[in-house]
Structure 1
Amino acid sequence: MTPSALLDTLAARLGPAQVLTAPDAMATHLAETRGLYQGRALAVLRPRDTGEVAFAVRACAAAGVPVVAQGGNTGLVGGGVPQGGIVLSLARLDRVRAVDPLNATLTVEAGCILARVQEEAERAGLLFPLSLASEGSCRIGGNLATNAGGTAVLAYGNARELVLGLEVVLADGQVWSGLKGLRKDNTGYDLRNLFIGSEGTLGIITAAVLKLFPRPASTATAWLGLASPHAALELFSHLRERAGGRLTAFEYVPRFGLEIVLRHAAGARRPLAGEHAGYALVELSSAGPDAPAELEAMLASALEADLAEDATIAASAAQAAALWSLRESLSEVQRHEGGSIKHDVAVPVSRVAEFLERATAACEADLPGVRVCAFGHLGDGNIHFNLTQPVGMDKAEFLALWPRFNRIVHDIVHAFDGSIAAEHGVGMIKRDELSRYKDPVALDLMRRLKQALDPQGLLNPGKVLVDPGKILAPRDEVPAPFPHGQT
């Protein structure tokens, strides 16, 4: 089937208005959020339901044309950027199919925006805890396809832990109907978890049964000044011992991170009178009304034990939102300081402080003047180890060092038994890195699964797995991950 005939077939089923081919209509679907990659595609499809998704995938399979599923296109690793073929936008699959408060589940289609999923849970008197800075535009299908993390992983887990069932369109157009709201089902292999985190390379998630949780009766938010990453880790241990599962967030922000937020984020105010080497944003949730009093008592004991240098507790919801805004603005404001080389990594919680010290020292030794902006989810070991260009250095010259800093940072992560891809996924930006650090047996199993479920290699090709014939040696150079610029 020719490309023209394929598009005619798709237009006949989906409607001509839902088969976009004009460059301006396709433009937003072809670029990665940060501008790291620019893709190309034959067309962008906008199916309205699972049946149309299955029809489109089946037609593309018959024509040998690749398919890249796309949600809100807010990814940060190039996972949704097409390299030809068809983009399958799931934005119109945005229906809430079922709400079951007693079973504490919500069944939604993949195109539902995350903030809407949260609102639907709240309307049922429950909580869907997945929370990201992009929750107003990212879509739940993409969240599941990348096994998104966010700020609530400490208490509730990654996206993988928040799903009971899935509906998935397979590479040949068949539909796996696994939308069961069961917490126990031992009838064979765990198919659900094959697709969560697979970045659309094994199948296309079209709907999901999500777990809901009781809403906390009260929450308390605090900002603390710390002497070092080691102090942050000791403080975390202190709070976890006393709060257990009620400790719902523990975020780390370095001094440089707070400085640039105060410099560039509108309305940002310094939360403590003095300056500190680092900061912790802490949230405590409770089934009763006493979270603020409980957190105040815990922080008093932490200050008495010299685990923190200063602290403030939000006295209102508005103050809590202002503290969270300091943390959530951090990713965005880095661009105002020039080029940023980013690493989304994870190490065992017990080794976070040691990792921060060693990786910071190694990067600063390699490039004097580089400004380390290492922040994130210290409570679950996920650190966004970002590097901001030295003052006065040319941006392009700095970004050209990305592969070199990958070696420095990722080698240290590997030495600490960590992961080079914590919550953003692999996509294209870390695809080649897997062959350096992933267990060879694990890679072989992944390739076998890909071959079994997508024998033509048409689902999101070029993502996650490098071609077996192009496996890189541990010290081979790789091209910079921003062939079309970076913002």
Structure 2
Amino acid sequence: MSDDLLSRLADLIGPTHVLTGTDMEAYAFDQRKRHESKPLAVLRPGSTEQVAAIVRLCAEARVPLVPQGGNTGLVGGTIAVEGTGALILNLGRLNRIRVLDAADYTITAEAGCVLADIQAAAEAADRYFPLSLGAEGTCMLGGNLSSNAGGILTLRYGNARDLVLGLEVVLPDGRVWHGLRTLRKDNSGYDLKHLFLGAEGTLGIITAASLKLYPRPRQVETALVAVPDPAAAVTLLGLARTGTGDSLSAFELMPRFAIDGAREILGRDQDPLSAASPWYVLMEASSGMAGPLLRQQVEAVLETALEQAIVTDAIFADSGEQVRKLWLIREGLPEIGRKIGGAVHTDISVPVSRIPDFLAATLAAVADYMPGIRPYPFGHVGDGNIHFNVGRPADMEGAAYLAHAHAITDLVHGQALVHGGSISAEHGIGNHKADELARIKDPVEMDLMRAVKGLLDPAGIMNPGKVLLP
């Protein structure tokens, strides 16, 4: 990259928004600290027009761009790979909510809007935006859509792509696709927005989106349920979906490790049920109507499950504070993994019906591989997404354990594929899984993906090294 290009970029967006040297440190990192990002500079445009002008300049100069939002991704999708000569394009200044139409149940927001701010804007209008992630206080809409984020409410509302009605996208040649439609039905040709949702910035840069809103829940019932095994959890899921009229919004599976780890590693004294159980489900149902009916439905489901020995114990949250404490058990699992030091993290999905077999086979496989290993699979069992995380043996140093990370990941991914699943459920591919994707994906599928990439981004300047390898 020439000094002349950097000067032209500074003239375009203002020199205070072109960061170099130590000023880049807040943007040039990998969330899990696996890889150091090496951008030549960080650009912070303030409008779609500025993004388009930047892309035009970089396309002429063949300088790669790495789009970035809140930088909370877990697969290296916002890393400027060393040697690519890439610029990071941080969209945090594009943070306006452009329109909220309560009657239409839609909101149009820019890519740099923090997810929690979109949720709050919807709530202020007595509406509900259901995308919900652990990082919602810092993650940004553009990254959520580019990675097709999931989260705890996917069972009820779908992934990020299911919440999108239209997009505004800057294409790799600097043109802007003005696709911010709010129509629920538009059968007038190819649905182009799906090219960019989940593409991780490799086909263009999402600058704004029109999103679906929903009625705000008036009644929410949260329960922690003890189950003997994952098969019982899957059976309970079916009973709960039927028994609540499909009002189930979250259904999270957790091992006993969630409670023991919180005590031993996080110093929290929390065990809401009277007796220990090998597995737990944190379930939540919601309704747009207030009143006792939803509670009665959930109670009836659990009574039936107790009679059939599918459930061994359960407790309801009867206050906002009790809800918070129950969710703290589930949300503590990633923190426990960090405190253990040297955990191997995966993000797989399998058909819901095959979760019990997948877990049994994978638990056995990692135990055979290394004595003393501490697996703690958990996650969104309602949609088949399991985070099969594996902690190091207590007597093994973290660095020595992480030397086995690829082998352990291969074991978990192999079992996911054997059971009809995917190696990435909600985190994306980034550069961490690009090699593996090329190895396991159907060759015809890979050819189609490369053809789309070649058509839209023939110069290869959009987020190089992510999803598709050269």
Q: Do Structure 1 and Structure 2 share a fold, with TM-score over 0.5? A: yes
What is the match of residue 423 of structure 1?
A: 426
Counterpart of 2:230 in structure 1: which amino acid? P
What is the match of residue 57 of structure 1?
A: 55
Counterpart of 2:27 in structure 1: which amino acid? H
What is the match of residue 322 of structure 1?
A: 325
Matched, 1:203 2:204: yes
What is the match of residue 235 of structure 1?
A: 236
What is the match of residue 4 of structure 1?
A: 3
Q: Distance in 2 between matches of 1:356 and 1:32?
A: 29
What is the match of residue 271 of structure 1?
A: 272
Residues 45-81 of structure 1 show CA distances to partners (whole Å, capped at 9, x for unaligned) of 1110100011111111111110001000000000011
2:375 to 372, 375, 382: 372
What is the match of residue 12 of structure 2?
A: 13
Q: Distance in 2 between matches of 1:266 and 1:405?
A: 28
What is the match of residue 90 of structure 1?
A: 91
Residues 58-106 of structure 1 show CA distances to partners (whole Å, capped at 9, x for unaligned) of 1111111100010000000000111231100100000010011111000
Which secondary structure state, in structure 1, belongs to the residue aligned with residue 223 of structure 2?
Answer: strand
- Cα offset, 1:267, TM superposition: 4.8
Q: How does 1:149-228 map to 2 (within 5 A)?
A: 149-228=150-229
- Cα offset, 1:229, TM superposition: 1.0
Q: Distance in 2 between matches of 1:313 and 1:269?
A: 15
- Cα offset, 1:268, TM superposition: 5.2
Q: Distance in 2 between matches of 1:295 and 1:263?
A: 32
Q: Distance in 1 between matches of 2:245 and 2:363?
A: 31
What is the match of residue 312 of structure 1?
A: 315
Identity of aligned residues (%): 49
Residues 294-328 of structure 1 show CA distances to partners (whole Å, capped at 9, x for unaligned) of 32222122112211111000011110111111111
- Closer, same or farther in 2 for the Cα pair 1:369/1:266, shift >3 Å? closer
- Closer, same or farther in 2 for the Cα pair 1:198/1:268, shift >3 Å? farther
Structure 2: gaps (5+ residues): none
1:77 to 75, 78, 84: 75
Which secondary structure state, in structure 1, belongs to the residue aligned with residue 356 of structure 2?
Answer: helix
Moved more, 383-392 or 280-289: 280-289
Which secondary structure state, in structure 2, belongs to the residue aligned with residue 107 of structure 1?
Answer: strand
Counterpart of 1:446 in structure 2: which amino acid? M
Q: Distance in 2 between matches of 1:54 and 1:393?
A: 51
What is the match of residue 356 of structure 2?
A: 353
| Alignment TM-score, normalising by the size of structure 1 | 0.94
Tell me if structure 1 keeps the 8 A contact 2:243–2:298: no
- Closer, same or farther in 2 for the Cα pair 1:436/1:257, shift >3 Å? farther
What is the match of residue 401 of structure 1?
A: 404
2:300 to 294, 297, 300: 297
- Cα offset, 1:266, TM superposition: 5.9
Tell me if structure 2 keeps the 8 A contact 1:296–1:313: no
Counterpart of 1:376 in structure 2: which amino acid? G
Q: Distance in 2 between matches of 1:384 and 1:239?
A: 22
Q: Distance in 2 between matches of 1:268 and 1:155?
A: 32
RMSD: 1.1
Runs of 4 or more, structure 1, over 6 Å off, are none
The number of residues matched between the two structures is: 465
Counterpart of 1:300 in structure 2: which amino acid? E
Counterpart of 2:62 in structure 1: which amino acid? G
- Cα offset, 1:37, TM superposition: 1.1
1:43 to 33, 41, 44: 41
Tell me if structure 1 keeps the 8 A contact 2:348–2:422: yes
Residues 382-422 of structure 1 show CA distances to partners (whole Å, capped at 9, x for unaligned) of 00001100111121111111111222111111111100000
